Structure 1
Amino acid sequence: MAQKPSIPKGTRDFNAVEVAKRSYIMNIIKEQFELYGFQPIETPSFENSETLMGKYGDEGDRLIFKILDSGDYLNELVNSINSYVLNSGLILQKYCRDKSNFPSLEIINNELKFEFLKASKDAKKYLTSKNISIDKFSKDLLPIIFKVFKSVDIEDFVVFSREDLVLCSNQIVGEFFNFLKPEFLTGWLSEKALRYDLTVPFARYVVQHQNEIEFPFKRYQIQPVWRADRPQKGRFREFYQCDADVVGSTSLFQEVEFVQLYDAVFTALDLKGVTIKINNRKILSGIAEVIGAQDKLIDFTVALDKLDKIGEEKVKEEMRSKSVSEEGISKLQPLFNMSGSFGSQIGQLKSILSTSDIGLKGVEELEFIEQAIFKLGLKTANLQLDVTLARGLNYYTGAIFEVAAPKGVKMGSIGGGGRYDDLTSIFGKPDTSGVGISFGLDRIYLVLEELNLFPDTIADATKVLFINFGEKEAMACLQAMTQLRQHGVKSELYPDDAKMKKQMTHADRRNIPYVVLVGEEELNSNTYTLKNMKTGEQQKLKLEELLSILQ
């Protein structure tokens, strides 16, 4: 029976038009990145699990795709366990002449361990590479061996054949992996994971290549990332991120330039009226301090970040579930009701955070950015202070950015980022400040599509199709096409000597605007008949005239 073709949920195929539109967005972003002095780098699709785990908070960690070890690792271990069980069965048969003489774990543990080592050096090497001691392995496996063997009548067990022991071994292997499943899949057999974003791999890159990098280092990266998320509108399991970061500078002018960069990209895409929301992690830390929830900062910010999705009451419920006190929640009320201009909200924050030094420091940083942008001006974007913006990621330490689509478009954030002063310290390079932003390519695509902002000519592919009348005529067409292609004209020859109607239908279905006919008459006169597929108009031309029209 033929298999029904399908792809995993949260992934997509892209046709030629979609690829062209995505390339249009990426090219504009890339152009602006380079205009602002960023250099391109690329990192692997997957990283060591330890590089990614623990960097995104509990919710983020749950969304990381883990990769099972490739090759014959699992088979080697299973075969080793089978050998071990088989040998241990033979030893147990030696001891088990009656039920009263059934040995304890302690009596035969050393002998079984020796048999395991003798059974497979590869398994020992594999377990050692996973930092798993043979003693631990034996202690985990032995009770299961005993459980299965004890379920067999001892008298029958004594006369078990080798084949019978193999059957027992298969049962034991199944129970063993079921017993170890959580630890086994996340540790023993999953040393690698697909990257969750581009920022943490970038931090790893910076530390690993620090002797080759000139600081401050400005990089951009346009590559796919993966998240084990629940697919919904605008949210995918595989999607592209377009990141720009600066490391090695604490200057707030970097944040100012990133606001300008957002404005430049969305203006170039003709996506006017986006809102660049900004907050500061220091302000959130200050608020947590004021309400007495310093030890619950992550829980507090994760809940607060959901305000626009689940509403005020649900956020409060989540905070209560994380043991934030009622008194603390009541002190948050001014945040939920905060409104007015950027400057007005700054004034309110100064009042709320008057007893928190770190909170006031965050306010000071936001004030600097806002005043700089006021002097410089933005083309089409709006800068807005949003004190509930938290972006529940552990590594932000200063400014936090999030970009919302123009009003009237229902879409999650189409960009985001922030400052991370200590991210590289997890890889052994402390005191290296960084700040970066990301563009959500797939969501930007959906917004441009919804607002009909893609240029009409964006998907132009083949401009002219040469009709194939036979071998001699096709060769003449190829000679002409070589000249056209050298001048940038996208052209192709219908590969088969098919009926004229079929070739014309092919051009029409692919929206190719022109076809060229080269028959016996054209060959003799060294001309080309050009047909406009929209108007039906035909004209006989020399090659230079043909090129002039098609260019």
Structure 2
Amino acid sequence: MSKPSLARGTRDFGPEIMAKRTYILDTIKQVFKKFGFLSLETPAVENLSVLMGKYGEEGDKLLFKILNSGDFAKKLKQEDFDNGAPAMLSKVAEKGLRYDLTVPFARFVAMNRHDLAMPFKRFQVQPVWRADRPQRGRYREFYQCDADVVGTDSLLCEAEIILMLNEAFKKLRLPDFAIKVNNRKILTGITEAIGAAGREGELCVAIDKLDKIGKEKVEEELVGRGFSAESIASLQTLFELPEGNMEALAALKGWLSETEIGLKGIAELEEVLGMVNDFGLEDNHVKLDFTLARGLSYYTGAIFEVQAIGVKMGSISGGGRYDDLTGTFGVSGLSGVGISFGVDRIYDVLDELALFPEDATESTKVLLTNFDEESQRACLPILKKLRDAEIAAELYPTSAKMKKQFDYANKKGIAYVLAIGSEEIKSGKYSLKDMASGEQKSLGITEIIEILNV
């Protein structure tokens, strides 16, 4: 008999945790719906032809591949083993678990574009899988909560993403957070400014690790990737930009004055920030961060990342503009922009800061006691009245001593116990006990419903 265990990087979610996760997801979904997004789901399994090449060189390594069914190795020859895993992959695996929700969304749009009203706004909440090294805040199976707009290149969408991020995290009562914003065109301009034109992909992979490994290690990686000493020296300007948003933009504009694409990225950022101000958002939490790269190769414009201040945790949300993601599926010209909420990390942050509301884990509001057959029969119509009044109520399933039923209520976090014995049945007055305060009152069913509905 094998001992039960969990695969590394995965977790069970018991009722209390699920209640808190539901609170997070319901809060974010309400914001999505308020901004006009529609719900969508896609399969957990996608063809590798859909997934590969969309996440950069490191992302491809983290894809979970699914071995072909049957004798998956029958087509292999010795030369396949000699050529290594990448060459062998196409012969043993045709499918994989989705890495994110954006690429499957793009595939869905490409397949269904004639039936969709454009621009198409969708939100999606489903698990994704990454063959990453498990650690705090990083799991192999985790949920993403995405919102994307496809079919328009209007920068209004970027501004609305900033508004959504603000509203969602304020509704989750997160006291301090930073919405980091950059533009991939600016990063392209930086490569031109340091004499490394055309190598923005390599630059982005390296500087995206700045928060994790520090400037010196990033520079070492750039050396390893063949960047010249002169290019790395020129890059110091990026690391030494002023703190304020407007001051940093002004300094960057001077540095990139000779790069057309870099100036275009700056102009797009200025337009987005202008619209956010026009919305009248007083505290927008936006922090321009021109070292922000995000490792996904499909971003072409604005990029976003949210960090909780004062908590040792990676980004809790991220996204950006992708001008032609559906082009890889034969449908060109469909621009999109989206954001993804990292539900598991958000949970850890709210848990660490004790930000979950007290009623987030509440399920049953009142437990009706069961002493004998007469008590059970009397409880059933009362139970119906409580539920008809939209009160979460349950009847203890078997006759048992009061202590056992009270213990059950305490363990489950039930706020009230309604005792219905022979005396209560005769009088029509039932004993309602507040399990937190210990206060007990004898009341009619109408009064009980009024109290429980508060």
Place the TM-score, normalised by the shorter chain, in its bin. Answer: over 0.9
> Hey, what's the Cα distance between the residues in 1 that align with 2:318 and 2:441?
54
CA 1:263 to 1:7, structure 2 compared with 1: closer, same or farther past 3 Å? same
Structure 2 CA distance for aligned equivalents of residues 470 and 506 of structure 1: 17
Deviation at 1:500, TM superposition (A): 2.8
Equivalent residue for 2:449? 547
Secondary structure of the 1:191 match is: strand
Give the 3 Å change call, closer, same or farther, for CA 184–283 of structure 1 in structure 2.
Answer: closer
For 1:339, the aligned partner's letter is P
**Deviation per residue, 1:328-373 (Å, 9 max, x gap):** 1111111111113222212211221122111111111112112222
Of 141, 164, 171, 1:238 maps to: 141
Equivalent position of 1:495 in the other structure? 397
- Structure 1 counterpart of 2:200, one-letter code: L
After superposition, the Cα gap between the structure-2 partners of 1:7 and 1:319, relative to the gap in structure 1 and judged at 3 Å, is same
CA 428–479 in structure 1, closer or farther in 2 if over 3 Å, else same: same
Unaligned stretches of 5+ residues in structure 2: none
In 2: Cα distance, 1:347 partner to 1:458 partner: 45
> SS at 1:392's partner residue?
coil
Q: Deviations over 1:226-247 (max 9, x none)?
A: 1111111111111111111111
Alpha-carbon separation, structure 1, partners of 2:87 and 2:320 = 35
Q: 1:549 & 1:509 partners in 2: Cα distance? A: 22
Residue identity matched to 2:403 = K
Do 1:342 and 1:385's aligned partners in 2 also have CA atoms closer than 8 Å? yes
d(CA) in 1 for partners of 2:28 and 2:433? 38
Which residue identity lines up with residue 415 of structure 2 in the other structure? P
Deviation at 1:181, TM superposition (A): 7.8
Corresponding position: 1:355 with 2:258: yes
Give the structure 2 partner of residue 221 of structure 1. 124
Residue 225 of structure 2 corresponds to 322
Report the structure number with the largest CA radius of gyration: 1
Q: How does 1:478-493 map to 2 (within 5 A)?
A: 478-493=380-395
State the match for 1:456 in structure 2: 358
Whole-angstrom CA distance in 2 between matches of 1:385 and 1:328? 23
CA contact (8 A) 1:273 1:380 kept: no
Task: Point out the structure with the larger helix share.
Answer: 1
What stretches of structure 1 of length at least 5 have no aligned partner? 82-126, 128-136, 142-175
Shift in alpha-carbon separation, 1:519–1:216, aligned structure 2, 3 A: same
Aligned to 2:63: 64
Aligned to 2:267, the other structure's residue is in SS state: helix
How far the C-alpha of 1:545 sits from its partner, in A, is 2.7
- Report the equivalent of 2:207: 304
- Whether 2:260 is the aligned partner of 1:384: answer no
Q: TM-score, normalised by structure 2?
A: 0.94
Partner of 1:8: 7
Deviation at 1:504, TM superposition (A): 2.2
1:397-546 matches, within 5 Å, as 397-406=300-309, 408-546=310-448
For 1:86, the equivalent position in structure 2 comes to none
Q: Aligned pair in 2 of structure 1 residues 223, 379: CA closer, same or farther (>3 Å)? A: farther
Partner Cα separation in structure 1 for residue 27 and residue 402 of structure 2 = 41
SS at match of 1:209: helix
Aligned 1:229-378 pairs, distance under 5 A: 229-378=132-281
* Pairwise CA distance, 1:258: 0.9
CA displacement, residues 202-224 of structure 1 (integer Å, 9 cap, x when unaligned):
11011000010111111111111
Aligned length: 453
Q: Secondary structure at the match of 2:93?
A: coil
How does the TM-score come out when normalised to structure 1? 0.78
| Per-residue deviation, 1:377 | 3.9
What CA distance in whole angstroms lies between the structure 1 residues aligned with 2:262 and 2:82? 48
Which letter maps to 1:13? D
Task: Identify which range, 290-299 or 521-530, moves more after superposition.
Answer: 521-530
CA RMSD of aligned residues (A): 2.1
State whether residues 263 and 379 of structure 1, in contact with CA within 8 Å, keep that contact through their aligned partners in structure 2. Answer: no
Amino acid at match of 1:28: T
For residue 339 of structure 2, what is the amino acid of its counterpart? I
Q: Is the 8 A contact 2:149 2:337 kept in 1?
A: yes
Q: Which residue of 2 aligns with 1:208?
A: 111
Give 2:389's aligned amino acid: H
